[in-house]
Amino acid sequence: MLAGEALGRSLNVPAVRLANAAGLDGVLATLHRAGFSTLEEDAGHYGLGLTLGNGEVTLVDLAQGYAALARGGRSCRARFTADAPSPPGERVVSPQAAWLVTDVLTDEALRVRAFGAGNPLRFPYPVAVKTGTSMNFRDSLAVGYTDRYTVAVWAGDFEGRPMDQLSGAVGAGPLFRQVMDHVVGRGAVDARPAPTPPPPGIEQMAVCALSGQAPGDHCPHARSLHAPAGAVDPDLPCDWHRVVRIDRRNGLRAGERCPSAFVEERVMTQLPSAYARWEAAHATERAPTEWSPLCPPDGHAVDALVVTHPRGDDVYLVEPGYTRTTQTLELSVEVDPPVPSVTWVVDGQPVAEAPWPYEATWRLEPGQHEVWVEVDGRRSDPVPFRVRD
């Protein structure tokens, strides 16, 4: 899935993978710049669980971290009295990174997918929200911000006892909603939160909803999102969805020279090899990896002698009022490897000797018929068809 969806739905595995790719030392340094002063150990002490919350922090630290995102990536230290000095902010993350995270956390559609349509974190104005739940449901958290206000809420037992399945959205979420409505409601109507336009370097673009690449001709679903400029190369469209030639006779891959009568073309998903284990356990349909022995990827197909017209059980009509000698049926066949000529047979009687490209005609006669082709002692499968007066 796309990174934004993983963040909006609070999925753990993508967060751990990203922390591992970014490097824990860098993750911890970023948290320090954002104001997480209680993370006093080195990165090795916390491990990859740091990105899931195994480092204890205060609610004030959380508020400072999210306030940095609200300020376009610059730190914001809390003051507890109005006359306390306000230290200058430092760059925590780039404006582009801060805006992208805000854009995801403001997406109510993702919150609905994560928490359901009746969740308490639906607002009539833009609010970026992230929830959290600690091990054994000891802590329920909801933290978020608008363009002016950052709110952090904790709900739990002061003795640290586990709560009864109380997640962040259900436990801290309702109080977060009340506090945010209160502080926003104090402002003037024309000062209500509004969407923040993307900073330079962020573009809106269409991507394949599965691969995140530029949509290809066969992608079943595309979606619009914001991403850093140049993140998606329009000249390299998605190759996860492609047309696969399948041999109808056995469901295996068909080579390019397989007769069309034996081939079904399907748009199928072919994930990169890194996802093979997941695909084997989860995919309901995947492209076959084995080539049909009847239609190998190179060389000649086996028994490539196939009538392609008429098709099985076609019905033709002798049109009244026209000369019957001009009402004919076109006959065509695929032959591989090529031969000098083929013999067309209708109802057991040879009707034409046809050189390459092996096409012939047969005058329509009312009744039920069968047509096939013979060459060098081989015979194609018969094709039944009917002619009506």
At 274-327, the pLDDT tens digits run: 777 777 778 777 788 788 888 888 766 666 788 888 988 889 999 887 888 889
Q: Token pair of 261, please?
A: 């009568």
Q: Which residues contact 328 (CB under 8 A, 6 or more apart)?
A: 361, 362, 363, 364
Structure tokens at 210: 């599965």
Distance from C-alpha of 204 to C-alpha of 99, rounded to nearest angstrom: 13
Position 23 in a domain: yes
| Count of residues in the chain | 389
Has residue 256 been placed in a domain?
Answer: no
Q: Within this chain, do residues 176 and 316 fall inside the same structural domain, yes or no?
A: no
pLDDT tens per residue, range 41-52? 999 999 999 998
Q: How far apart are CA 60 and CA 363, in angstroms?
A: 90
Cα 344 to Cα 132, 243, 315, 350, 388, distances in angstroms? 74, 33, 19, 6, 21
Residue with tokens 């619009």: 224
Kindly state whether residues 186 and 308 are assigned to the same domain: no
Residue 298 identity = D
177 lies in the same domain as 312: no
Report pTM.
Answer: 0.70
Task: Indicate whether 182 and 315 sit together in one domain.
Answer: no
Residue 227 tokens, joined? 């991403």
Check which CATH number belongs to the domain holding 58 and give it. Answer: 3.40.710.10
Question: What is the H or E stretch that residue 383 is in?
Answer: strand 383-388
CATH number of the domain at 309, please: 2.60.40.10
- At which of 141, 159, 191 does a domain end? 191
For residue 228, is it within any domain?
no
Residue at 11: amino acid letter = L
Domain count, the chain: 2
Q: Is residue 154 part of a domain?
A: yes
Residue where one domain finishes, among candidates 147, 169, 191: 191
Render each residue's pLDDT in the chain as its tens digit; 389 residues.
Answer: 788 889 988 889 999 999 999 999 999 999 999 999 999 999 999 999 999 888 989 999 999 999 999 999 999 999 889 899 888 889 999 999 999 999 999 998 888 887 888 788 888 899 999 998 887 778 889 999 998 899 999 998 888 888 777 777 778 889 999 999 999 887 655 566 778 889 999 999 999 999 999 999 999 999 999 999 999 998 899 989 989 999 988 999 888 878 777 889 999 888 887 777 777 778 777 788 788 888 888 766 666 788 888 988 889 999 887 888 889 999 988 887 778 889 999 999 999 999 888 899 999 999 999 999 999 888 998 999 999 98
Return the axis-axis angle of helices 59-70 and 95-105, rounded to nearest 10°: 110
Longest Cα pair distance anywhere in the chain, in angstroms?
A: 107
- CA 52 from chain centre, in angstroms, equals 24
Residue 203, domain member (yes or no): no
Domain of residue 351 covers 304-388
pLDDT of residue 190: 54
Out of 191, 225, 245, pick the residue that ends a domain: 191
Q: Is residue 259 exposed (0-12), middle (13-18) or buried (19+ Cβ within 10 Å)?
A: buried
**CA–CA dist 96, 91 (Å, integer):** 12
Strand ranges in 134-240 using DSSP code E only, listed in sequence order: 139-145, 150-156, 202-208, 222-228
Token representation of residue 377 = 């002692």
Torsion of the alpha carbons at 114, 58, 183 and 180, rounded to the nearest 10? 10
Instruction: Please name the residue ranges forming H helices in the chain.
Output: 3-8, 12-22, 24-33, 43-46, 59-70, 95-105, 108-115, 168-171, 173-185, 276-282
Pairing between β-strand 378-379 and β-strand 367-375 as defined by DSSP bridges: antiparallel
Q: Which two structure tokens, joined as six digits, stand for 74?
A: 């610059």
pLDDT of residue 110: 85
Please report whether residue 208 resides in a domain: no
Rounded Cα gap, residues 150 and 192, in angstroms: 14
- Interatomic CA distance for residues 163 and 140, integer angstroms: 9
Residue 21 lies in a domain: yes
Structure tokens at 16: 């751990």
Domain presence at residue 146: yes
Return d(Cα 296, Cα 318) in angstroms, integer: 41
174 and 312 housed in the same domain: no
